[in-house]
Amino acid sequence: MPVLFTYDPTTDAGMVRLLIADTDAENHAFTDAEVSAVYATCSNSVKRTAAQLLDIMSTNHAKLAVKVGRGDVDEDLTKIASELRAQAVVYRAQADEEDDGACLEAQTSPSWERWSYTDNVLLEREDEVRQ
């Protein structure tokens, strides 16, 4: 029988579980297979996976969102889904910041600066010199 839940914060799957607070083996929200599937669809990004899983959790909580009041005790479950979505937005923004340095882009363009003109004259490339 496959293992449904493992938690090791030194692995990517464990870090995802830590970020979404799904660390209780007795009461976990996602199986290892579910975490792995979402991880694969999120380009192997821990924070994007955490954000996606939080969105999934928020959808489940939104189905159960109710306000209940009995006597002096009020229970408001309507805010749980919005809080989970807000945390998902934070994780996506952090993932975007981390990705900014991952892809460098270079652009070259001709320069008509003085040093270029001087270099061309000194190298006797007068056909390339433009004034």
* Tens digit of each residue's pLDDT, the chain (131 residues): 677 999 999 999 999 999 999 999 999 999 999 999 999 999 999 999 999 999 999 998 888 777 777 888 887 777 888 899 999 999 999 999 888 755 556 666 665 555 566 666 677 766 655 55
Q: Does residue 101 lie in a domain region? A: yes
Asked if 79 and 95 touch (Cβ cutoff 8 Å), the reply is no
The pLDDT value recorded for residue 90 is 95
Q: Does residue 66 lie in a domain region? A: yes
Asked if 17 and 35 touch (Cβ cutoff 8 Å), the reply is yes
Range of the domain at 80: 12-105
Asked if 49 and 39 touch (Cβ cutoff 8 Å), the reply is yes
Give the Cβ contact number of residue 40 at 10 Å. 10
Asked if 120 and 114 touch (Cβ cutoff 8 Å), the reply is no
Q: Does residue 113 lie in a domain region? A: no
Q: Does residue 76 lie in a domain region? A: yes
Q: Does residue 6 lie in a domain region? A: no
The pLDDT value recorded for residue 98 is 86
Q: How many domains does one find in the chain?
A: 1
Q: What is the amino acid identity at position 130?
A: R
The pLDDT value recorded for residue 115 is 57
The pLDDT value recorded for residue 72 is 84
The pLDDT value recorded for residue 70 is 82
The pLDDT value recorded for residue 126 is 61
Q: What is the amino acid identity at position 85?
A: R
Q: Does residue 123 lie in a domain region? A: no
The pLDDT value recorded for residue 47 is 96
pTM of the model: 0.69
The pLDDT value recorded for residue 120 is 66
The pLDDT value recorded for residue 110 is 62
Q: Does residue 69 lie in a domain region? A: yes
Q: Does residue 63 lie in a domain region? A: yes
